[in-house]
Structure 1
Amino acid sequence: MYLIITRNFPPEIGGMQSLVWGLSRELSKNYLIKVFADYHNEHKKFDEQATFSIERVGGIKLLRKFRKAQLINEYLKENKVQGIIADHWKSLELIKTSKKKYCLIHGKEINHSIGSSINKRILDVLNNVEKVIANSEYTKKLAIECGVIENKIIVINPGVDPSDELDQKSLDKVESLLKIKTPRLITVSRFDKRKNHEKVIMALRNLKQIYPDIVYICIGHGDEESNIKKLVKELDLNGQVMFFKDISSNLKNALIAKSNIFVMPSVIHKSSVEGFGIAYVEAAQYGIPSLGGKDGGASDAIDNGKTGLICDGNSLDEIYSSINTMLENKKYLEYGSNAKNFVTKFHWSRIIEEYKKIIN
């Protein structure tokens, strides 16, 4: 039996949640799996459809960590467990066992100054596990710089399920919404500083001179939403930027599939960094190429010059010229075709084999 300990699990929505769910589901096809996850108001209905055991731990966040660790430590004493896989170093911090432990790392959660108290806590956990599983080459490099022992780290990119079949009703709705607007740029992400919506919007002002019918579709919500909308108004781009949030997955997928370029030239903001960028992979499944930023793990998800482009997200000129390069002569069609072929390497059927190699 393997235990999976997580702070991030469906029905809560997010990249980490999808990753841990996919990993648990795929491992359960070959191993006995038990998941210890945080309580969620709507978890009962979700948990019923799982083919493995899920134990939820509730309570005040501060106390939950200790209660969860106590439950897991007791379970380890009373049951035969081969190993433990955790979504975060904090999930392992209070676990007392000699069993093999594996910890996923994602980027920003380990990005703390060497010698700081939190860095010491991180290293106490990560340097005492069997393997540290980084989501990208960038995250591996970051971990080494932060003091993690290099030969403990292995890179396994996040897995994805093959894309859902597109719903014709949603596709028709998108065409009705967008009408003659073209070319079409899209970002699906939280509105936060590191995602860099602002620079894309600033580049859009110049791109509008060449492509008067251009549209930028923004799907998501977050702390920066009001600032981004304010910028759109200041630059007189209300006719070029469309905002969507809390929409169905069918409509989201149709908007992606009907776009030309996925744009997310991420930057490092304070300690926040894009460790991988599963959104680039999800766009590629629909044959949509991406523009990513050089700061972070986008290079694992985008084959630069083949499935999209990597640029300096801090440079407005680079963002503008990269988008323009992809739009000129419809270069995005070639990149998109390549992206659709490239993305199969991230399918869970392949990714899970990498996990099986290390736990075996």
Structure 2
Amino acid sequence: MHLIITRTFPPDVGGMQNLMWGLARSLSKFFLIKVFADHTNGFEKFDNSVSFSIERVSGVKLFRKYRKSYLINEYLKQNNNVQCLIADHWKSLELIQTNKKKICLIHSKEINHPKDSRLNTKVLKVLNNVDHVIANSHFTKDLAINLGIEEHRILVINPGVDPVKEIPSKDLKKADEIFKGKKQRLITVSRYDKRKNHEKVIMAIRNLKEVYPDIVYICIGYGDEEENLKKLVIELKLEDQVKFLKDIPSNFKNALISKSNVFIMPSIIYKKSVEGFGIAYVEAAQYGIPSIGGKDGGASDAIIHEKTGLICDGNNLDDIYSSIDQIFKENKYFEYGKAAYENSKNFHWDKIIESYKRIL
């Protein structure tokens, strides 16, 4: 039996929730597993629908990790058949007392603390005492090594995705209406925060519209920067070129991606926040949509430069402009899109899970 310890799990939604759900579901096809997860609204219906055991831990967040650790430690004392613990975050293992094999996933931001700081010391105490540290990208692996995590413990296993389902025709028609009359179609699906770099894409659109009068940029998401971005669009008189959408159904979101030409998210490092991988690039690629990503972070694991998309310097407005121009000028997005679709198959969970099976 293997235990999965996670603070993020469905029915809550988000990238980490999808990752831990995909991992748990895929492992359950080969092993007996049990998940310890945080309590969340509506969990009963979800938990009753899965084929493995989920134990939810409730309580005030401040004390929840202590209660969860106590329950896991007690479970380990009473169950000798547990072979391995797999955790979503170093904090999930901080109070666990066992000699069983331990695996911890790392994603970049949560380990990115100044070397020799109090938090860095706590991170190293946990991660340099586990059997395997799973980095979500080569960027995250390099970051971990620079911060003091022992290299021999680190393996790179990219997050997985499920094969996409057919999009209903009504959603495709609705997406066509949004894009009507627009020939150059850019899209970003992400939180509105500084790291995602919507701001510089919008600034690039200001100049690109002179060359490509039929360009459009669709932004789907929510976040702290939403109002600032909307003000920027008004200031630059780009209301006809930049559209904001949020709280839309998943099928409609996927329809908009599939009807786009390019997924763009030239992420940057903002304070300690960095794009560890960028599963959104892979999700777009599944619809044959190439991406433009930033050189800072793990986008290079998801995008093969000048094959499935482009990697640019997200801090350089000219580089963002020229990357968009390059991919549209010779209709490169057709060629890149076909390659992106083929490459996306390498991220399907049935392939990714094989890397986990080899270390269990």
Q: CA deviation at 1:44?
A: 1.2
Matches within 5 A, 1:45-194: 45-79=45-79, 80-194=81-195
Q: What CA distance in whole angstroms lies between the structure 1 residues aligned with 2:205 and 2:43? A: 41
Matches within 5 A, 1:12-31: 12-31=12-31
Q: Partner amino acid for 2:68?
A: K
Give the superposed CA RMSD.
Answer: 0.6
Q: CA deviation at 1:285?
A: 0.2
* Match of residue 272 from structure 1: 273
Q: CA deviation at 1:177?
A: 2.2
* Match of residue 219 from structure 2: 218
Q: Aligned pair 1:40/2:20, yes or no?
A: no
Q: CA deviation at 1:45?
A: 1.4
Q: CA deviation at 1:12?
A: 1.1
Q: What CA distance in whole angstroms lies between the structure 2 residues aligned with 1:278 and 1:229? A: 25
Aligned-partner SS, 1:336: helix
Q: CA deviation at 1:157?
A: 0.3
Q: What CA distance in whole angstroms lies between the structure 1 residues aligned with 2:44 and 2:224? A: 30
Deviation track 1:173-218 (CA, whole Å, cap 9, x = no partner) reads 1112221122100000000000000000000000100111211000
Deviation track 1:35-86 (CA, whole Å, cap 9, x = no partner) reads 0001111111111111100111111100101000000000000012101000
Q: What CA distance in whole angstroms lies between the structure 1 residues aligned with 2:231 and 2:73? A: 50
Q: What CA distance in whole angstroms lies between the structure 2 residues aligned with 1:206 and 1:47? A: 50
Q: What CA distance in whole angstroms lies between the structure 2 residues aligned with 1:182 and 1:7? A: 43
Q: What CA distance in whole angstroms lies between the structure 1 residues aligned with 2:168 and 2:118? A: 50
Q: CA deviation at 1:150?
A: 0.2
Say which is worse superposed, 45-54 or 142-151, in terms of deviation.
45-54
Q: What CA distance in whole angstroms lies between the structure 2 residues aligned with 1:86 and 1:172? A: 42
* Match of residue 231 from structure 1: 232
Stretches of structure 2 that go unaligned for 5 or more consecutive residues are none
Q: What CA distance in whole angstroms lies between the structure 2 residues aligned with 1:9 and 1:32? A: 18
Stretches of structure 1 that go unaligned for 5 or more consecutive residues are none
Q: Partner amino acid for 1:311?
A: C
Aligned residue-pair number: 359
Q: Partner amino acid for 2:6?
A: T
Q: What CA distance in whole angstroms lies between the structure 1 residues aligned with 2:182 and 2:315? A: 28
Deviation track 1:127-178 (CA, whole Å, cap 9, x = no partner) reads 0000000000000000000000000000000000011211111000111222
Q: What CA distance in whole angstroms lies between the structure 2 residues aligned with 1:130 and 1:241? A: 47
Q: Partner amino acid for 1:75?
A: Y
Q: What CA distance in whole angstroms lies between the structure 2 residues aligned with 1:121 and 1:333? A: 47
Q: CA deviation at 1:296?
A: 0.2
Aligned-partner SS, 2:359: helix
Provide TM-score, normalisation by structure 1. 0.99
Provide TM-score, normalisation by structure 2. 0.99
Aligned-partner SS, 2:175: helix
Q: Partner amino acid for 1:245?
A: K
* Match of residue 195 from structure 1: 196
Q: What CA distance in whole angstroms lies between the structure 2 residues aligned with 1:119 and 1:314? A: 27
Q: What CA distance in whole angstroms lies between the structure 1 residues aligned with 2:234 and 2:183? A: 20
Deviation track 1:257-291 (CA, whole Å, cap 9, x = no partner) reads 00000000000000000000000000000000000
* Match of residue 10 from structure 1: 10
